[in-house]
Amino acid sequence: MTTEIEKHITGCRTWPHPEVVEDLARLRQIAPLTHCITNSVVTNFTANVLLAAGASPAMVVTMEEVADFVRIAHALLINVGTITTTDAEVMLKAAATAQQTNTPWVLDPVAVGALKFRTDIVDQLIRFQPTVIRGNASEILALGGFAGNAKGVDSTVSSLAALPAAFQLAEQTGTVVALSGEIDYVTDGKEIITIPGGHEMMTKVTGTGCSLGALIAAFLPVTGTAVRAASAASALFAEAGERAVREARGTGSFGVGFLDQLSTIGMETRKIYI
Amino acid sequence: MTTEIEKHITGCRTWPHPEVVEDLARLRQIAPLTHCITNSVVTNFTANVLLAAGASPAMVVTMEEVADFVRIAHALLINVGTITTTDAEVMLKAAATAQQTNTPWVLDPVAVGALKFRTDIVDQLIRFQPTVIRGNASEILALGGFAGNAKGVDSTVSSLAALPAAFQLAEQTGTVVALSGEIDYVTDGKEIITIPGGHEMMTKVTGTGCSLGALIAAFLPVTGTAVRAASAASALFAEAGERAVREARGTGSFGVGFLDQLSTIGMETRKIYI
Amino acid sequence: MTTEIEKHITGCRTWPHPEVVEDLARLRQIAPLTHCITNSVVTNFTANVLLAAGASPAMVVTMEEVADFVRIAHALLINVGTITTTDAEVMLKAAATAQQTNTPWVLDPVAVGALKFRTDIVDQLIRFQPTVIRGNASEILALGGFAGNAKGVDSTVSSLAALPAAFQLAEQTGTVVALSGEIDYVTDGKEIITIPGGHEMMTKVTGTGCSLGALIAAFLPVTGTAVRAASAASALFAEAGERAVREARGTGSFGVGFLDQLSTIGMETRKIYI
């Protein structure tokens, strides 16, 4: 099955692919207002990732405001990582509004399949047609109806093993799927883009996966297609991760260096700050 | 109108202004217990900023405890950044208690004017007479009844353009207004203190504005006046920001260096740690 | 009374004590899934501490999921730092489930004694027999029925002064008590282990105490006894703190360096990353 799938691979994105360079420049110019409804562990890191890359993050999370803010925002992220009863209602409202207003949005179905409540909510959220679903292998397998073998938020399956499920999920739902792992894959159910690179240390800093979902959202109003948005964000993450690991002394300085790299990548020839 | 306003400028605070040096020394001696009810994106950074500067942060956020803790605390911060239905009730209780017990408090009306729910709550909070209102130009304009052109949490207007609104707001409410921007202004509706300095990179790390509000709160029980407290906190932030940017390799190391600078400023002649 | 107590001291743990080295190696091998219900200030830092040390953190915090996840997890942490009405219900459910399923769990009773609501909840939580209670001197004194002189979350009493209360608490409840301070003490009401070291700068970064509780939880399914788990985590923290302070330029880089040290300690002879 895997070789059958691999026939659909049409491209590869690594920095400095001209499309990624161009999309990043546009992101920095537009600074898309990116509405994040995300989990309590990664709010700070997610905001800092978006700011570093050049987007404008905003977390608006109450029922009274969420629909109004989806209307103002350029893009939306919904991440169910630490979902609560109240959050679920807010997320459903946000997703319904995004569909109504054609606001592009990303669904990050953290640990879907492992716990019934969030699995039900994710099922409902998907009906509002996310522009992109971003997940690891276990999550994408779970969404595709396969057993994902999830262990908390971390996948125990390789991304390649989940690629057929990702392709099929994209095909059936009309949603672009961004599958994260040793190699990232982005697919719309027709073509598949591969994004190699990155580093295992990215799994040792909380929020690298979740903030990738946020950056994909930020790229959606910037690039021509959702495949391109997800590919650009993934390629930037892979490159920033590789650069950061070279100078890291451990996971703490890696996280800091990752933000440093995101905030300076593509500006190599000019000194922007000072 | 601006030149008319500028006549009220009576001073400028930059590190090492003797008053700021003195106030910081007292802050470190007293370590004021600073009760923060703030947004979910910046709780960690805010606590670390307060600890770095020498204050003692505490986040107590439930209805059952909030009034009791306002009574124990030396100062209070209320920041509506990620306000929820439940938060609103807690914030109103905290503000009412602070007024009753004469606990000095800071209101940070994040994105007021942009969203109806928080605008209503902020209106109610203001009736409990915050000691200081800290905001960016868009927020201060919105509070003054002008259109603030807010884009999420970031202002799109210069602080100078909002100075007349800040002055008027202070005059009418009897609250000190701390207006943040390229130049910070602090006014009680009679005099205006300017605080130049800082660096644009401060807008690329989430929570620098929000934690300034917290540090102003921490200074309130320490300094003689609210103008002095807001000026001292703003001058420290400007200096720490300038120092940090010199050694930053991007936004990640800038955020880390900013805390380093806050935790060591004024201790140049002695090695405090080790 | 203190000298009477000191007779029970049976050992001391400092890195590289063979037991600590062995326990850390096993932690990294097992990567225990550590369910954290903790306060909003430290979720990110706690997750990063667990990842750095080699555990697998997961924050699942809603009533609909909490019992199911306690069943999946290897260990549980409950920290009441920013407890809300809803959190309280979730925590009680988690604790009850942990007792039922024999999931080892740590209770961190932040600021117990200072505020009535959390004090009542902590009393109820203790009835579900936490494997370990971790607290500072004020908190342990308060649990023992002594006035703890708490000031927010920070203790104003030395850990040695609270050692008799810790010993007695352990003796009466059958719970291991991990008492944090200049010197850490771990006791089961029979023996006492001392863990010297660490550095005062650890009190200037938010979450060092709270994440110690999480790391103790992570060690529980790994080590033979709860005393050994609490001792290993405390010894690692002390060593990582001492190493990090040597290269810190202030509290910001200290926090980063602390994670770096935790993620590399015990790997000195081999280059693990890259």
Range C43-59 average pLDDT: 98
How many beta-carbon pairs under 8 angstroms link B with C?
A: 107
| Among the partner residues A59, A256, A262, nearest to B253 by beta-carbon distance | A256
Distance of residue B168 Cα from the nearest chain C Cα, in angstroms: 36
Name the one residue in this structure whose structure tokens are 């925590």.
Answer: C91
SS3 label, residue A84: coil
pLDDT number for residue C96:
98
Residue A183 clears pLDDT 90, i.e. is over it: yes
**Does residue C83 sit at the B interface (CB-CB below 8 Å)?**
yes
Distance of residue A119 Cα from the nearest chain C Cα, in angstroms: 11
Of chain C, the percentage scoring pLDDT greater than 90 comes to 90
Q: Which amino acid makes up residue B166?
A: A
Distance of residue A256 Cα from the nearest chain B Cα, in angstroms: 5
Which residues of chain B are within 8 Å of residue C152 when distances are taken between CB atoms?
A: 33, 56-58, 72-73
Residue A196 has φ and ψ, to the nearest 5°, of: -80, 180
Indicate the average pLDDT of chain A. Answer: 94
C129 HSE (CA, 13 A, CB side): 12
Edge-to-edge strands, sheet with B56-58: B9-12, B192-195, B184-187, B176-180, B132-136, B105-108, B75-79, B33-37, B56-58
SS3 label, residue B108: strand
pLDDT number for residue C140:
97
As a whole number of angstroms, the distance between CA C15 and CA C241 comes to 12
Name the one residue in this structure whose structure tokens are 């033979």.
Answer: C224
Q: Using alpha carbons, list the distances in angstroms from residue B9 to A180, A207, B20, B178, B186.
A: 55, 45, 18, 14, 10
pLDDT number for residue C64:
98
* Nearest alpha-carbon partner for B80 in B114, B37, B142: B37
pLDDT number for residue C147:
62
| Among the partner residues A44, A69, A262, nearest to B41 by beta-carbon distance | A44
pLDDT band at residue B154, thresholds of 50, 70 and 90? Answer: low
Residue B24 clears pLDDT 60, i.e. is over it: yes
DSSP β-bridge partners for residue B260? none
| Among the partner residues B44, B60, B260, nearest to C45 by beta-carbon distance | B44
Chain C: partners with 3+ C-beta pairs within 8 Å: A, B
SS3 label, residue B178: strand
Closest chain C CA to residue A243: C274
What part of B 30-59 touches A (C-beta under 8 Å)? 39-42, 44-45
Residue C155 clears pLDDT 50, i.e. is over it: yes
**Does residue B149 sit at the A interface (CB-CB below 8 Å)?**
no
pLDDT digits (tens, 9 = 90+) for C83-126: 999 999 999 999 999 999 999 999 999 999 999 999 999 999 99
Residue C253 clears pLDDT 60, i.e. is over it: yes
Closest chain A CA to residue B246: A274
Q: Which residue has the higher pLDDT, A153 or A274?
A: A153
Residue C271 clears pLDDT 50, i.e. is over it: no
pLDDT number for residue C6:
87
pLDDT number for residue C151:
53
Which residues of chain B are within 8 Å of residue C202 when distances are taken between CB atoms?
A: none
Residue B12 clears pLDDT 80, i.e. is over it: yes
pLDDT number for residue C86:
97
| Among the partner residues B44, B118, B246, nearest to A65 by beta-carbon distance | B118
Closest chain B CA to residue C119: B65
The full 3-state SS of B122-139, as one line of letters, equals: HHHHHCCCCCEEEEEHHH
List the single best residue of B37, B65, B70 to mutate versus C (max C Cβ within 10 A): B65
Contact A259 B252 (CB under 8 A): yes
Which residues of chain A are within 8 Å of residue C72 when distances are taken between CB atoms?
A: 114, 152
Of chain A, the percentage scoring pLDDT greater than 90 comes to 90
- Range scoring the smallest mean pLDDT among A3-12, A51-60, B60-69, B101-110: A3-12
pLDDT band at residue B272, thresholds of 50, 70 and 90? Answer: very low
SS3 label, residue B230: helix
**Does residue C256 sit at the A interface (CB-CB below 8 Å)?**
yes
Chain B: partners with 3+ C-beta pairs within 8 Å: A, C
- Domain boundaries of chain A, sorted by first residue: 2-264
pLDDT digits (tens, 9 = 90+) for B174-223: 999 999 999 999 999 999 999 999 999 999 999 999 999 999 999 999 99
pLDDT number for residue B117:
98
pLDDT number for residue C136:
96
CB of B211 closer than 8 Å to CB of B42: yes
Q: Does domain C2-264 have CATH number 3.40.1190.20?
A: yes
pLDDT number for residue C274:
40
Q: What is the pTM of this model?
A: 0.96
Range A70-98 average pLDDT: 98
Range B265-273 average pLDDT: 66
As a whole number of angstroms, the distance between CA B239 and CA A111 comes to 44
Residue A272 clears pLDDT 50, i.e. is over it: no
Range A32-45 average pLDDT: 98
SS3 label, residue A169: helix
Q: Using alpha carbons, list the distances in angstroms from residue B237 to B20, B27, B184.
A: 11, 15, 10
pLDDT digits (tens, 9 = 90+) for A98-113: 999 999 999 999 999 9
pLDDT number for residue C4:
87
pLDDT number for residue A224:
86
pLDDT number for residue B2:
58
pLDDT number for residue C272:
46
Two tokens, residue C66 = 């909490």
CB of A211 closer than 8 Å to CB of A233: no
Indicate the average pLDDT of chain B. Answer: 94
DSSP β-bridge partners for residue A9? A192
Closest chain A CA to residue C33: A152
pLDDT band at residue A270, thresholds of 50, 70 and 90? Answer: very low
Residue A271 clears pLDDT 50, i.e. is over it: no
For residue A102, give every residue at least 6 positions away whose Cβ sits within 8 Å of its Cβ, in sequence order, or none: none
Strand residue runs (E) in chain B: 9-12, 33-37, 56-58, 75-79, 105-108, 132-136, 176-180, 184-187, 192-195
As a whole number of angstroms, the distance between CA C115 and CA B68 comes to 7
pLDDT number for residue C265:
98
pLDDT number for residue A146:
77
pLDDT number for residue C74:
98
Closest chain C CA to residue A198: C274
Which residues of chain A are within 8 Å of residue B118 when distances are taken between CB atoms?
A: 65
Of chain B, the percentage scoring pLDDT greater than 70 comes to 93
Distance of residue A205 Cα from the nearest chain B Cα, in angstroms: 14
| Among the partner residues C39, C154, C246, nearest to B56 by beta-carbon distance | C154
pLDDT number for residue B153:
53
pLDDT number for residue C154:
58
Name the one residue in this structure whose structure tokens are 């930020």.
Answer: A218
| Among the partner residues B33, B65, B259, nearest to C151 by beta-carbon distance | B33
SS3 label, residue A222: coil
CB of B111 closer than 8 Å to CB of B122: no
Indicate the average pLDDT of chain C. Answer: 94
CB of C174 closer than 8 Å to CB of C128: no
pLDDT number for residue C268:
73
**Does residue A263 sit at the B interface (CB-CB below 8 Å)?**
yes
What part of B 94-113 touches C (C-beta under 8 Å)? none
| Among the partner residues B85, B115, B248, nearest to A68 by beta-carbon distance | B115
pLDDT number for residue B271:
47
Burial label for C4, CB within 10 Å (0-12, 13-18, 19+), is: exposed
Question: What ipTM does this complex have?
Answer: 0.95
**Does residue B67 sit at the C interface (CB-CB below 8 Å)?**
no
Q: Which amino acid makes up residue A212?
A: L
For residue C127, give every residue at least 6 positions away whose Cβ sits within 8 Å of its Cβ, in sequence order, or none: none
CA dihedral (A100, A105, A111, A113) positive or negative: positive
DSSP state letters, A106-151: EEE-TTBTTBHHHHHHHHHHHTT--SEEEEEHHHHHHHTTS----B
| Among the partner residues C44, C64, C69, nearest to A42 by beta-carbon distance | C44
pLDDT number for residue A222:
97
pLDDT number for residue B274:
40
CB of A164 closer than 8 Å to CB of A2: yes
Distance of residue B174 Cα from the nearest chain C Cα, in angstroms: 30
Range A127-154 average pLDDT: 83
The full 3-state SS of chain C, as one line of letters, equals: CHHHHHCCEEEECCCCCHHHHHHHHHHHHHCCEEEEECCCCCHHHHHHHHHHHCCEEECCCCHHHHHHHHHHCCEEEEECCCCCHHHHHHHHHHHHHHHHHCCCEEEECCCECCEHHHHHHHHHHHCCCCCEEEEEHHHHHHHCCCCCCCECCECCCCHHHHHHHHHHHHHHHCCEEEEECCCEEEECCCCEEEECCCCHHHHHCCCHHHHHHHHHHHHCCCCCCHHHHHHHHHHHHHHHHHHHHHHCCCHHHHHHHHHHHHHHCCCCCCCCCC
Strand residue runs (E) in chain A: 9-12, 33-37, 56-58, 75-79, 105-108, 132-136, 176-180, 184-187, 192-195
